[in-house]
Each structure stands twice: as structure tokens, then as C-alpha cells.
């Protein structure tokens, strides 16, 4: 037996999974409320006792952890042109498992520097200019950061001709900084992997201790990545397989939470027709987006306003007033768990709307352009119409009864033909809530991780009844 302990220090719960890599098999799971103020140790100890009661004493070969406690990895992205270097920096940050709390383009104004300081980011990713292109903005912004009261480490990922001077300015001001290759070395070519690697390394070297998480590190072998990075590793492993056994292929993974809804896609996303042309930056094959206004608890009222109370009321079979009161209650009580049937229906309706809106934002879009030679199409973002697998995780999908109907919100809607969402997909659910912990194995133990992930996902269908008044969107067909 080769027992491993895998821990996810979440913002609300600390989740544990004991696995035997020789099986491979899941030996047991446990969870306890996360306790940030004491360095996570009390929540860890409580969950460990619960786990040991199920599995008996185990001599773990390794104890690995990921974390989104204390707000996770909070990053700000600063670049030149919003549609280019700023967007490239944002992609790098999100793909590394960060939560982007601020995005800034062009030269930083004094007001923006003050705002950035008030956000108290853990890291700043400073980009700007292609290699050999604009160098003034990167140097100017570095000087603004150097003269500010910000203490966060700065990762410089901009014009290679300006990066050395920018680094000197920051270092002379006593600001910790790191230099990596440009995230946008030339127009139309992304290079975000070096920046993502640096983000994860700085997270491990500095931020774990800065957040007081070092207290619990005495009990484990280390917090090795942010929780979102672990989930992204799961998406990649499920899509690609273990190197010998093929995976599911291109997929979407949707994580519905109380504060955010995260969407991960593993798909090329290129145009699927010869008369469609790409506009803007090419999207990475592995992409993550985070929607901070699409959660089921702390951001429930924001979600409701985006999707409209009338639509939520129709889906839940409740009055608009009842829906508004329910959303306010969820915002005020982030730990609220519904007991009554109508409250469960409201949760499921909100989850459906969160999935629908988050995937619409994540997917690309298409626009008709008349030309002298006929109609052409311009695609912005990724074409996900051919993605055949949609996977859900998060409490509402793990424990809810309407998982298939909720995930159907990810599918193409004829009422919004410009959105390049999946047309027809199978639905899977992380029924045992294992993705974040099994993601800790996905890199170093691909076979074991893939085997356990295959066992963890359960295929579900959209329930025939659906929500009250809701048609079965699985039957829609695509017609660009």
C-alpha cells in the first residue's frame, strides 16, 4: 500500500482525501470548516480525525495540499493595450490559478495606483509592449509601482528591451521582482507558460508564509499549488488521458461556487468553417475564466440582477418577490443550506443561470460581416461548438438532484446564435467532490490520477421534466 493524504484548504471547508496509489483507490474522505485565523491547523486536525475514524491509522507516504483559503491567490494584471498585452497578462494569471482582482491598461494614473494599493494583491503581473515595440509604458508603470506603497512581488513579463530597466527601478525601491519572457512577444503570439510557472513558484515561496499558512505546513509535505490550478490539472488529465489510455477529449469543466463560477476549457477553439476569420488574440488551448458576480451565496443578488428575477422565478416556479428574498438571504448567510423543496429549487435555478452566463462569457462569439464578395464571419474567442463533454463540480452539482438540467445551461441557445457554446454534449458530475484533491496527483502520477478521476465522474442526463416552464435545451441544434 502507498497511502497519500491529499488536502484542499478551501475558503469555507477543508477537504481531505486518502488514496492508495498501489490500488489505485480512494480510501476515504472527510471535511471540516476551514479555520484561517489559526493558520488552518484546527480545521485540518478536525478533518484528519474524521478521516482516520473511517480509514483507521495510516502511515502516509506523502501529504500534499492546495489552498484557496484567505481569498486564494489575489493578482493584478497591468499591461499596455487592453485587448492585447493586458488580456495576455490576465490569461496567464487565470491559467496559473490566480484570482484577478484588478486589470489596468496603458500608463497607470495616480488614482489607479491608489486603487491598486487598496486591493492589496498578493502578486502583480506587469506586462506591456511586444519585444522590440513600445518600451516607455512598461518602464513608466514600473516606476509608478516602485514609488507606491505596494509591497506585493512583481513579475515582469513585458517587452524584453524594457524589462531590465523596469526590474532595476523596482529592485532599487526594495520591491521584490521576477523577470520572465514576454507574455506577448509579437502580435498574435501568446507565450504565457513562463509567467504561469513563475506565478506558481512565487505562490509557493512567499505567499503561503505571508498568509500564515506555514503553521499547517509542519503537518504536511507542502502546499503545492492554488486550488484552481489543481482543478485545471484535473481538466487537462481528463481530456488527455494518462499517456497510454485516451481521455475524454475536448471538454468544459464548470465549478459552481458560493462566490464565483469558474469555467475551464481544454479545446483548440479554432474556427470550424473556412469563411470564419479570427479577431484578437489567439486563445490558449487550456483556458480558465472566473466570474466573480455569478455565485450562489455571497454574489447571489448580483447573479439575480444579471439574469433577471423574472427568469429565475420562472425556472424555480416561485414568485419574483420570493426569489429576491431568497437571493438576499443567501448573500447574508454564505453558509446557508436549503431544507425546504422550494429553496432547493431556487438554488438549482440560480445554478442553471450561473452556468449559462459563465459559459457564455467563456466561449467565443461570431459576428456577420457583409463584404463585396458576400457574408463573412468574424470570430472572437474560442469556438466550443464541437465540445462533446461538459463536467460539473461544486456543492450544488455534487449534491443536487437536477445536475443534468443545471449543466444544460452550458449548451448553445438558438436565442443567442452568436455565442459559440457546445451544441450537444454529454454531462458528467464530480459526485464525490474529489477534483481539487485529485488534481494534486495529476502531474506526477498521471496513471493513478486518471484512473481515480474516471471512477470519480458520473455521467448524468438532463432530467426530462427540467425546471418548471423550462424547455429541454438539449434538443437545440446549431445554425451559425
Q: Which of 70, 91, 121 is the last residue of a domain?
A: 70
In a domain, 219, yes or no: no
Q: What CATH code is carried by the domain that includes residue 80?
A: 3.40.50.360
What's the whole-number average pLDDT of the chain? 88
The pLDDT-based confidence of 466 (bands split at 50, 70, 90) is low
The pLDDT-based confidence of 463 (bands split at 50, 70, 90) is low
In a domain, 211, yes or no: no
pLDDT score of 179: 95
**Could you read off the pLDDT of 317-356 as tens digits, one per residue?**
999 999 999 999 998 887 788 888 999 999 999 999 999 9
Cα 18–chain centre separation: 24
* 147 shares its domain with 41: no
* 66 shares its domain with 76: no
Q: Cα–Cα distance between 246 and 237 in angstroms, integer? A: 10
- Report whether pLDDT(477) > 50: no
199: left (phi over 0), alpha (psi -120 to 50) or beta: alpha
* 282 shares its domain with 420: yes
What mean pLDDT is predicted for residues 228-254?
A: 93
- Report whether pLDDT(69) > 60: yes
**φ, ψ dihedrals at 40, nearest 5°:** 75, -5
* 340 shares its domain with 416: yes
pLDDT score of 139: 97
Instruction: Select from 395, 56, 439 the least CA-distant residue to 238.
Output: 439
Using an 8 Å Cβ cutoff, are 126 and 205 in contact?
no
Q: Which of 47, 70, 93 is the last residue of a domain?
A: 70
Helices and strands in the chain, H and E counts: 17, 19
pLDDT score of 472: 41
Element (H, E) at 179: strand 177-179
* 27 shares its domain with 153: no
Q: What cell numbers appear for 422 in the block?
A: 457546445
Burial letters 160-188, b for 16+ CB under 10 A, else e: bbbbeebbebbeeeebebbbbbbbbbeee
Q: What cell numbers appear for 184 in the block?
A: 506577448
Using an 8 Å Cβ cutoff, are 108 and 123 in contact?
no
**Domain total in the chain:** 3
Q: What cell numbers appear for 7 in the block?
A: 488536502
CA distances from 403 to 175, 421, 427 (A): 47, 18, 9
The pLDDT-based confidence of 307 (bands split at 50, 70, 90) is confident
Q: Cα–Cα distance between 74 and 124 in angstroms, integer? A: 9
CA R_g for the chain: 23
Q: Cα–Cα distance between 33 and 51 in angstroms, integer? A: 14
* 65 shares its domain with 79: no
Q: Cα–Cα distance between 97 and 68 in angstroms, integer? A: 9
pLDDT score of 404: 92
What mean pLDDT is predicted for residues 410-431?
A: 93
What mean pLDDT is predicted for residues 91-106?
A: 87
**φ, ψ dihedrals at 141, nearest 5°:** -65, -35
The pLDDT-based confidence of 221 (bands split at 50, 70, 90) is confident
Q: Could you list the residue range(s) of the whole structural domain that residue 333 is in? A: 230-475
Q: What CATH code is carried by the domain that includes residue 35?
A: 3.30.420.40
- Of 185-189, 204-208, 326-330, the poorest mean pLDDT is in 204-208
CA distances from 318 to 126, 315, 336 (A): 48, 8, 19
In a domain, 224, yes or no: no
Q: Cα–Cα distance between 72 and 320 in angstroms, integer? A: 34
Q: Which of 240-244, 272-276, 370-374, 461-465 has the highest mean pLDDT?
A: 240-244
Q: Cα–Cα distance between 386 and 398 in angstroms, integer? A: 25
Which residues, 6+ apart, have CB-to-CB distance to 323 below 8 Å? 304, 309, 312, 313, 316, 346, 349
In a domain, 222, yes or no: no
pLDDT score of 479: 36
* 84 shares its domain with 64: no
Q: What cell numbers appear for 64 in the block?
A: 500534499
Using an 8 Å Cβ cutoff, are 67 and 47 in contact?
no
The pLDDT-based confidence of 90 (bands split at 50, 70, 90) is confident
What mean pLDDT is predicted for residues 232-241?
A: 94
Q: DSSP characters for 229-273?
A: HHHHHHHHHHHH-SSSS----SEEEEEE-SS-EEEEEES----SS
pLDDT score of 127: 94
**Could you read off the pLDDT of 373-394 as tens digits, one per residue?**
788 899 999 999 999 999 999 8
The pLDDT-based confidence of 291 (bands split at 50, 70, 90) is confident
pLDDT score of 350: 94
In a domain, 350, yes or no: yes
* 90 shares its domain with 59: no
What mean pLDDT is predicted for residues 170-181?
A: 94
In a domain, 411, yes or no: yes
* 165 shares its domain with 54: no
What mean pLDDT is predicted for residues 193-219?
A: 78
* 341 shares its domain with 446: yes
In a domain, 225, yes or no: no
- Residues of the chain with pLDDT > 70, as a percent, come to 94
List the Cα angle 475/478/480 in 5-degree steps. 160
Q: Which of 25, 53, 70 is the last residue of a domain?
A: 70
* 81 shares its domain with 158: yes
pLDDT score of 474: 39
What mean pLDDT is predicted for residues 152-178?
A: 95
**Could you read off the pLDDT of 111-158 as tens digits, one per residue?**
999 999 999 998 999 999 999 999 999 999 999 999 999 989 999 999
Q: Cα–Cα distance between 102 and 112 in angstroms, integer? A: 10
* 87 shares its domain with 63: no
In a domain, 218, yes or no: no
Amino acid at each position: 500500500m502507498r497511502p497519500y493524504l491529499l488536502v484542499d484548504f478551501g475558503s469555507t471547508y477543508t477537504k481531505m482525501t486518502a488514496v492508495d496509489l498501489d490500488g489505485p483507490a480512494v480510501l476515504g474522505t472527510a471535511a471540516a470548516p476551514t479555520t484561517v485565523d489559526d493558520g488552518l491547523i484546527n480545521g485540518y486536525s478536525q478533518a484528519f480525525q474524521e478521516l482516520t475514524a473511517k480509514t483507521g491509522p495510516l502511515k502516509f507516504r506523502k501529504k500534499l495540499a492546495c489552498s484557496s483559503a484567505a481569498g486564494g491567490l489575489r493578482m493584478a494584471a497591468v499591461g499596455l493595450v487592453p485587448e492585447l498585452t493586458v488580456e495576455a497578462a490576465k490569461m496567464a494569471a487565470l491559467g496559473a490559478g490566480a484570482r484577478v482582482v484588478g486589470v489596468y491598461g496603458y500608463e497607470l494614473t495616480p488614482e489607479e495606483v491608489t486603487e491598486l494599493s487598496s486591493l492589496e494583491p498578493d502578486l502583480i503581473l506587469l506586462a506591456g509592449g511586444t519585444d522590440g515595440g513600445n518600451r516607455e509604458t512598461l518602464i513608466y508603470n514600473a516606476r509608478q509601482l516602485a514609488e507606491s506603497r505596494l509591497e506585493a512581488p512583481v513579475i515582469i513579463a513585458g517587452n524584453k528591451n524594457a524589462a531590465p530597466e523596469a526590474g532595476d527601478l523596482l529592485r532599487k525601491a526594495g520591491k521584490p521582482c521576477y523577470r520572465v519572457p514576454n507574455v506577448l512577444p509579437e502580435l498574435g503570439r501568446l507565450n504565457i507558460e513562463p509567467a504561469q510557472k513563475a506565478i506558481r513558484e512565487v505562490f509557493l515561496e512567499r505567499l503561503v508564509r505571508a498568509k500564515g499558512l506555514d503553521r499547517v505546513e509542519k503537518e504536511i509535505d507542502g502546499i503545492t499549488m492554488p486550488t484552481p490550478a489543481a482543478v485545471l490539472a484535473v481538466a487537462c488529465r481528463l481530456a488527455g488521458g494518462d499517456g497510454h489510455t485516451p481521455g475524454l477529449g475536448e471538454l468544459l469543466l464548470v465549478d459552481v461556487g458560493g462566490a464565483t463560477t469558474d469555467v475551464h476549457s481544454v479545446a483548440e477553439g479554432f474556427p470550424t468553417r473556412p469563411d470564419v476569420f479570427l479577431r484578437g488574440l489567439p486563445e490558449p488551448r487550456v483556458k480558465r475564466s472566473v466570474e466573480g458576480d455569478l455565485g450562489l451565496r455571497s454574489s447571489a443578488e448580483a447573479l439575480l440582477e444579471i439574469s433577471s428575477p423574472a427568469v429565475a422565478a420562472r425556472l424555480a416556479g416561485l414568485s419574483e418577490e420570493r426569489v429576491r428574498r431568497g437571493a438576499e438571504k443567501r448573500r447574508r448567510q454564505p453558509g446557508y443550506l436549503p431544507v425546504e423543496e422550494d429553496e432547493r429549487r431556487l438554488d438549482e435555478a440560480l445554478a442553471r443561470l450561473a452556468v449559462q452566463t459563465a459559459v457564455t462569457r467563456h466561449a467565443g462569439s461570431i459576428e456577420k460581416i457583409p463584404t463585396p464578395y458576400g457574408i463573412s464571419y468574424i470570430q472572437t474567442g474560442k469556438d466550443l461548438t464541437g465540445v462533446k463533454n461538459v463536467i460539473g463540480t461544486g456543492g450544488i452539482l455534487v449534491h443536487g438532484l437536477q445536475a443534468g438540467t443545471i449543466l444544460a445551461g452550458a449548451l448553445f441557445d438558438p436565442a443567442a446564435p452568436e455565442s459559440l457554446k457546445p451544441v450537444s454534449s454529454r454531462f458528467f458530475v464530480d459526485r464525490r467532490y474529489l477534483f481539487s484533491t485529485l488534481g494534486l496527483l495529476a502531474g506526477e502520477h498521471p496513471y493513478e490520477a486518471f484512473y481515480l478521476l474516471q471512477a470519480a465522474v458520473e455521467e448524468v442526463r438532463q432530467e426530462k421534466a427540467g425546471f418548471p416552464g423550462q424547455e429541454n435545451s438539449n434538443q437545440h441544434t446549431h445554425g451559425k
